[in-house]
Every structure is written in C-alpha cells, then in structure tokens.
Chain A
Amino acid sequence: MAKQLHIFVENKPGRLKTITESLQKIGINIRAFAIQDRGDYGLMKLIVSDPRQAHLSLADMGCACALKDVLAVSIPDRPGNLHRLLGALADGGINIIDAHGFVLQPNKQGICVIEIENLAQTNAEQVVRKAGFDVLDDDQLNNL
C-alpha cells in the first residue's frame, strides 16, 4: 500500500519551513504535497522519495508525524476520469476523508492520492481496479 507522511503543524509562520528544511538536509525529494487546514493547526501531507526515512528523521526531531496508508490511483489525464473514479468509490459505499491530485504527464497521466475511512476494512483497492484504474504500491509511488 502506498504511504503518505502526515505531519502535525501549528498554524504559525515558519512551521512548514522547518519540516521542508529537515527533509532537504537528508536528501528527501518531495513529490507532492497538500495541507489540510484545521484552524489553529494543519496537517501537512507529503508524498516523498523515501517515506520511512523521512518519518524516522522527523520523529527523531520530536515532530508529531505518522505514515498513513493511502490509495494512490493512476488516472489517465482526460475529461471525466475523476468523476468515474469517484463514482466507483461512491457506489462501493467507500468514504473519502481527504484527497489531492496532480498531473504527472499532461494529457497522459495524473495521480490521485486518496485517504479512505477505515481503509484496511474496505475493498477500495478492488473497487478501483475493477473500474479500470491502476493502483500504485509504495515503490511505484515513491519512484514516479
């Protein structure tokens, strides 16, 4: 399963920078990121070249962070495909907590990173594959 690094950050100037700074120091490449705003704090969500190494390094600094299993779906970059993916998940009764996406190759491939409620207890991966999408594993996502 693909891993996303979640980091608890206060909503204050300079907090995000300390995270990116420490990842830069150990040569971690950030492939994609999103920030979930929760008022006085936020969650920074990173797709990185080496999630385990990044996690260990931030945890050593005393950061509150965690690796989360996410569904990383490869989607052809064409109109209507996100709608099709969401439709399949909705039909399967699968609830999305948060998601972000990015285009990898314009007009060819995009990636959608989805946090699913109780992922381990769902058949989300099968549902997505059945709908005709590729699901990326940890290595595939990290080595995009």
Chain B
Amino acid sequence: MEIRYWNKEIETADREKLRQIQLQRLKSIIASALKTPFYSRRLPSVGIHSPDDIKSLDDLRKIPFTTKDDLRQNYPKGLLSVDTSEVVRIHTSSGTTGVPTVIYLSAKDLDAATDIMARSIYATGTDKTDILQNMMSYGLFTGGLCMHYGAERVGLMVIPAAGGNTKRQIQLMKDFRTTVLHITPSYLLHVHSKLAEYSVAVSDLALKKAFVGAEPHSENTRRKIEDLFDIDAYNSYGLSEMNGPGVAFECVYKTDLHLWEDAYIVEIINPKTGELVPDGKEGEVILTNLIRHAMPLMRYRTRDLAFLHKESCPCKRTHRRLSRILGRTDDMLIINGVNIFPSQIEEVIMKIPEVGTNYQICVEKQGALDRLIVKVELYSKIFMGEAKQIDNLKAKIADELKASITLKPAVELHEPGVLPVFEGKAVRVVDSRPKL
C-alpha cells in the first residue's frame, strides 16, 4: 500500500522527538493562557506563574481539568488571550444550557489548524486530483468550514454543498464527478436509500472515499457504507473546542484514528477518579490544544469515551491511534451529527407558559436518519378550545427549540398528566436507536 505523508518528519518523528515538541509547545501555550482572565486566575492557584514552571510533560498534570461548564461560565471572552482585532474567526457549539461555547482563532491558529486538517485528508490517500463534496453544515459548526479549508490546502476541488437537499447532493455528485464525501454516517446511508428514487445507480457516480464523522458509529456501519457505495470510509474525530474535525483521523489502513500528538496532548482518564489509565484501557479523552493561542484550552474534558491503541500502525506514523468513540460520560445526544443536551431542551420548555413542566425527549431512527420528538403536556388552564391555538403552540415550541438546538424537532402535545413523571433527569430521554 502506498503511504503518503503531508509532513513526514513530524508524522514519523520518534516518540522522544514528539515529546520535545509537546513540551516546547505546551510552554508556549502556557504563556498565552496566562494572558486570559480564566487561566490567569487558575494557573497561579496551582503554582504555575510562567512557562518556566513547566519543566517536563509530567507537569501538565498540575493543571486542573477545564470543563464545558468552565467555558460556559467564562463566555464569551474569559478564555481569550488576545484582542479581538487579532482574531480572524470564531466558532461556537452548543452548551449544556442556552449559553453556547465559543472558540477564537488568530490567523496563525487558523493556519495551524488548517495544516492539521490537510494532513488528515492526505493521510487517507486523498490528493489534489480528488473532488470533495463537503456535506457537513457550514457556519458556526466547525465541521463544514474547517474541513473546507483543509481540503483547499491539499488542493482538492471543493464543493461546499453543506447539509440537506438530498436530490441536489446526488445531482452534484453526478455532475462534478465527486470522488470524496465528508458526511455523517447516518446521512450517507440516507443518501443511498434515495438513489433509486432519483434513478441514479452507485455506478453512475465516481465516489472513492468518504470521511465520516460528527457522530459515533460502529465498524458494522462503516462496512455497510463501504459495501453499499463500493468506497473506503475513513473515520474522523474532532470537536469544536479543539478546532473541529482532524484531531484524529484514519490512515489508509483504517485501523482507528491517528491522533496528531504534535498538535494535541491526549490523556485517557478514569472519569470518576481523574486518574490516568494505561494505553488499551477505555476512559475519558482529555485534550490539550497545542496549536491555538488566541484561545488556549488545556486538559479539556471531552466527555467522550475511547482508548488508545498500544500497537504501532504499519503506516509508520508514530502518533498513537485513538479508538472509535465508545460513548459519553454525560447525557449529550448526537442527533444527525448535531450535539444536543437534554438540559437545553428543558430550558426552552420551562420558559413556555402554555405547557406543563413534565416532558419527554424521544430519539428514534426513521430510515437511516435520526428523528427527535419532544413530548410536552398542554397546561390545562390555558386551553381556549381551539385547534388553531394548539397548532400555533406546537409550531412555537418547535421554533424556539430550533433556535436553541439548531435542529427542528417534532413536537407532540399531550394531555395533562399522561407523560411519565420521573425523579431523575436521564430517564426523561428515551433513545430507541439501535445500540452501536
């Protein structure tokens, strides 16, 4: 198999060399972090007053974890190390409540993130002769734009199709001889189910590869995608807090994802104790971003569960491989690639006087796609007796939820007192999608 490297020196550097790069970059990130309101309080409290207080990579563990809640509480600018005049882009992602989390990138940060993205794309054997149809949503979500820039850097022809409108997507694939897709696995399966409807056969298309990500999926789903389209599907991992896709990516061997350790320090911990677990053992992924200075983020608790492989990869890359994401340590739902916290839905519902406080969140499969159903009870005292009132209320709830969680759920209004009453929060969510 032909192995191509975007940056062979870094990608195949020996572990000691990688550690040196990490240490040097970590010190530099500490210098930037000390300029932020958040870390300038937090770092001195653990005895870190300057980059020189980091003597070895082991000192990383002195730094407390940073959580999504920290990001939320310090929204919007508490982790910004530079004046906004130095910032060239922001992205946001959903917070656990109405407050989103934001990342800032300087021109240099964006350049570094783009280079890592390009490296990921190139590692799959994709090159400038390829045509990428980027079917992730553009905008505040990192998945669309960050992939776009990385692909342009490799020199691909990029079709910024964004998500949705399956008919047009298939037309674009046909007309422009798309060779590579960037897409969620569920949407890709949905596209396949629609081909016949538009009288298109897989053989009418020129597809060779798909980069699938933004939602957890199993090896079986990958195989199904590969068989249905006769392509290679590469798993990708990223999160907006770490600059989006391209934190870890599969190489041509497709045996889990090389995590680019010159750009990110990865730790796997026991989520209950915070203790490191050895390679091969499942735990929560903790990431330190080494390439973003405008908004430093260290020891970030991703809440994703995975493990690191012990064995090396035949591609000779020395960057360790991260397993597929095996689950979450929190109650975040991933619905058609969109991250949603039940608490976001609750917050919206509680502000609507026409519904009661009891609710249920249901997620199910409809064909290949996920479907979100929010069930609420009508507050009996407000009912005026008209169907129009009920229909307007349903539309209002759906619209307000869409404004918060970015996707529009189906809203079901129920009679007062019929939804099950639960003590805890988690049981309000009924996820009937097949387990991975």
Contact = CB atoms under 8 A, between A and B. Distances in A.
B391 interface: yes
11 contacts: A6-B383, A6-B385, A10-B415, A15-B415, A38-B390, A43-B385, A64-B378, A64-B379, A65-B380, A65-B383, A98-B387
Interface in B367-387: 378-380, 383-387
Nearest to A18: B415
A66 B384 contact: yes
Contacts of B414: 10
B412 interface: yes
A71 interface: no
A97 B416 contact: no
A80 B387 CA distance: 30
Given A8-B383, A97-B386, A64 B391 contact: no
A41 B385 contact: no
A75 interface: no
Majority DSSP secondary structure for residues of A touching B: strand
B139 interface: no
A56 B24 CA distance: 75
A124 interface: no
B164 interface: no
Given A9-B415, A15-B415, A40-B412, A65 B385 contact: yes
Contact of B413 (A41, A63, A66, A68): A41
A59 interface: yes
| B383, B385, B387, B390 pick with most chain A CB within 10 angstroms | B385
Contact of A8 (B388, B412, B415): B415
B201 interface: no
Contact of A62 (B385, B386, B412, B416): B416
Contacts of A67: 385
A60 to B, nearest CB: 10
A36 interface: yes
Contacts of B384: 66, 68
Interface in A1-15: 6, 8-10, 15
A64 B387 contact: no
Interface of A: 6, 8-10, 15, 36, 38, 40-41, 43, 59, 62-68, 97-98
B417 interface: yes
A6 B413 CA distance: 16
Interface in B339-378: 378
B418 interface: yes
Interface string B390-427: 11000000000000000000001111111000000000
Contacts of A59: 380
Given A62-B380, A63-B380, A36 B415 contact: no
Given A59-B380, A62-B417, A6 B390 contact: no
Contacts of B391: 38
A98 B385 CA distance: 12
B254 to A, nearest CB: 44
B398 to A, nearest CB: 13
A62 B379 CA distance: 9
A133 B82 CA distance: 79
Contacts of B415: 8-10, 15, 63-64
Given A40-B412, A62-B416, 17 more contacts: A6-B383, A6-B386, A8-B383, A8-B390, A8-B415, A10-B415, A40-B413, A41-B413, A62-B417, A63-B380, A64-B415, A64-B416, A66-B384, A66-B385, A67-B385, A68-B386, A98-B387
